[in-house]
Amino acid sequence: MIRILAVGKMKDKRLAALVVDLLKSTRPLAKTEIVEIRDSDPEREGREMVDRLGSSRGNQLVVALDEHGDAVTSVDLSKLLSAHGDVAFLIGGADGLGPAARERAGRTLRLSSMTLTHEMARLLLVEQVYRGLTILRGMPYHRA
**Per-residue DSSP letters for 89-110?**
EEE-BTTB--HHHHHH-SEEEE
In angstroms, the Cα distances linking 116 to 18, 37, 65, 66, 134 are 16, 18, 11, 10, 25
pLDDT band (50, 70, 90) for residue 84: confident
pTM passes above 0.85: yes
Q: For 88-115, write each residue's pLDDT tens digit.
A: 999 999 888 999 999 999 999 999 988 8
Helix (H) or strand (E) holding 81: helix 74-83
**pLDDT score, position 115:** 86
Q: For 37-83, write each residue's pLDDT tens digit.
A: 999 999 999 999 999 998 766 668 999 999 899 999 999 999 999 98
